Chain A
Amino acid sequence: MDHLSDTDGTPPIHSSYECDPELRDLVIHFVDELDQRVETIRSAFLSEDVAALQRISHQLKGAAGGYGFDSIGDSAARLEYDLLTDESMISDLTERVEDLINNCRAAVRPADS
């Protein structure tokens, strides 16, 4: 079974809507939920649940940018693309999955004002 690397060199990522009064609460909520999403991604990958991985990468692809996290959205898009087009084993997607998880973990929760 493949392991996911625990080393993470990704710099912190701030939402581009961090200071947007309209969205601040939502961004906070989104970042708070990311831990849970990372867990879902991780367990889906480890149990080779392609459908679950596809679902969550699709969701993040469509929504993350709207919360100001383009890098999360982009890495989710790359993972989704490979899931849909790659005929090879799920273990080949390690890099993509790690990339997505790293971006999620790097998201910064806007400070309370």
Chain B
Amino acid sequence: MRPRVLAIDDSDLVHRLLRARLRHERIDLHSVYTADKGIAAAKELQPEVILLDIDLEDLDGFEVLARLKADPSTRDIAVIFVSASNETMDRVRGLDLGAVDFVGKPFDVGELKARVRSALRMQRLVKMLAQRAQLDGLTGLWNRAYLDDRLEAETASAIRYGNPLSLVLCDLDRFKNLNDSHGHPFGDEVLERTAAILGSGRSPDVACRYGGEEFALIVPGTDLQETIEVADRHRVRISEIQWPDRPGVHISASFGVADLSCISGTPTPEKLIVVADQALYRAKNSGRNQVVGADAQIWPRSAAG
């Protein structure tokens, strides 16, 4: 199947030119004329690359770029922004918002083709890597698919050999507010720093990105009590992260912890997740920035009081 390229530009002149110039590339080119259609087409089509005009009439191109990057279904699409502006500030802004490249208008023929090819090449590699390694692209932690497989294996092993097994679910507090106030590039930075802390534990521990702002930690050979302490250490480190560019900003995370002994009936990986999730829910509803164990323990003690 040929790679799809979506071009978002309000000028018919530009679309004709793109079609002519990219005719001999092995791609399927789709053209839309407005920002709204562009965002909708990106979601539906799932192109490999988007060529986005920054100077759109109906909506600021940077805003479109930000929205594409904010939506999980379009976040990983490579965006090349097209700009008639020669301002370096605009280019920096576009790249910081998550564009992978830019091309100037009017197009230099060779340059346009080369940058599209380059972006397609890169996308292919990124996809291969993500599928092969079962890694989360942003944080480098294991992804959800890996978590499920691994949890199943660890549960079977724990039951078979009579060893304890714990699971920590961690959710960043007020993450949506953070993104809205400071922008998605900062949100990404928060995710990366949090992931670095969660992933820096002992080697048997398996750290995964579980969802948009949620993480999971599989802690084999360790019981609930000890895992609660491990989780609280992570909680403290996360709350102490300094942001040199944003002095007033502080983040925190809530944690739910469970081990196999918290499960009634036959232990299964699904039940373990449910029990840990219930504890996480209690942590969120009791003021956040705390660790709640499935046995109703709450850390820090001050949060319990």
* Option from A23, A26, A63 in Cβ contact (under 8 Å) with B11: A63
| Closest partner residue, chain A, to B19 (CB atom) | A26
Expressed in whole angstroms, the Cα–Cα distance for A36 and B101 within the complex equals 35
Q: In the complex, which residues 58-107 of chain B have their Cβ closer than 8 Å to any Cβ of chain A?
A: 84, 105-107
**Knowing A58-B55, A63-B13 touch, does A26 contact B20 (C-beta < 8 A)?**
yes
Expressed in whole angstroms, the Cα–Cα distance for A66 and B53 within the complex equals 15
The residues of A that contact B11 with a CB separation of less than 8 Å are: 59, 62-63
Expressed in whole angstroms, the Cα–Cα distance for A10 and B40 within the complex equals 46
Q: In the complex, which residues 180-235 of chain B have their Cβ closer than 8 Å to any Cβ of chain A?
A: none
- Name the residue in A59, A65, A66, A70 with the highest tally of chain B Cβ atoms < 10 Å from its Cβ: A66
CB distance from A34 to the nearest CB of B (A): 11
**Knowing A66-B106, A66-B107 touch, does A61 contact B84 (C-beta < 8 A)?**
yes
Residues A66 and B17 in contact, CB atoms below 8 Å apart: yes
CB distance from B94 to the nearest CB of A (A): 16
Say if the beta carbon of A100 comes within 8 Å of chain B: no
* Option from A30, A66, A70 in Cβ contact (under 8 Å) with B105: A66
Q: In the complex, which residues 19-52 of chain A have their Cβ closer than 8 Å to any Cβ of chain B?
A: 22-23, 26, 29-30
The residues of B that contact A22 with a CB separation of less than 8 Å are: 20-21, 23-24
Expressed in whole angstroms, the Cα–Cα distance for A67 and B106 within the complex equals 9
Residues B55 and A63 in contact, CB atoms below 8 Å apart: no
User: For this complex, into which size category does the number of interface residues on chain B fall?
Assistant: 10 to 19
Expressed in whole angstroms, the Cα–Cα distance for A39 and B67 within the complex equals 38
Residues A62 and B16 in contact, CB atoms below 8 Å apart: no
* Option from B13, B16, B23 in Cβ contact (under 8 Å) with A59: B13
Number of A-B contacts (CB under 8 A): 47
Expressed in whole angstroms, the Cα–Cα distance for A55 and B12 within the complex equals 13
**Knowing A58-B84, A62-B11, A62-B105 touch, does A67 contact B23 (C-beta < 8 A)?**
no
Q: Main secondary structure on chain B at its contact with chain A? A: loop
Expressed in whole angstroms, the Cα–Cα distance for A30 and B11 within the complex equals 13
Say if the beta carbon of B14 comes within 8 Å of chain A: yes
Residues A26 and B17 in contact, CB atoms below 8 Å apart: yes
Expressed in whole angstroms, the Cα–Cα distance for A33 and B237 within the complex equals 64
CB distance from B246 to the nearest CB of A (A): 33
The residues of B that contact A63 with a CB separation of less than 8 Å are: 11, 13-14, 17, 105-106
The residues of B that contact A58 with a CB separation of less than 8 Å are: 55, 84
| Closest partner residue, chain A, to B14 (CB atom) | A63
**Knowing A59-B11, A62-B11 touch, does A73 contact B16 (C-beta < 8 A)?**
no
CB distance from B184 to the nearest CB of A (A): 27
| Closest partner residue, chain B, to A37 (CB atom) | B13
Residues A62 and B84 in contact, CB atoms below 8 Å apart: yes
Chain A to chain B: the 10 pairs with minimum beta-carbon distance, closest first = A65-B106, A63-B13, A66-B106, A62-B105, A62-B84, A66-B17, A66-B107, A59-B11, A26-B20, A63-B14
Question: Which B residues have a C-beta under 8 Å from some C-beta of A?
Answer: 11, 13-14, 16-17, 20-21, 23-24, 55, 57, 84, 105-107
Question: Which A residues have a C-beta under 8 Å from some C-beta of B?
Answer: 22-23, 26, 29-30, 55, 58-59, 61-67, 70, 73
Of the A-B pairs whose beta carbons lie under 8 Å apart in the complex, a sample of 24, sorted by A's number, is A22-B20, A23-B21, A26-B16, A26-B17, A26-B20, A29-B16, A58-B55, A58-B84, A59-B13, A61-B84, A61-B105, A61-B106, A62-B13, A62-B105, A63-B11, A63-B13, A63-B17, A63-B106, A64-B106, A66-B14, A66-B105, A66-B106, A66-B107, A73-B106
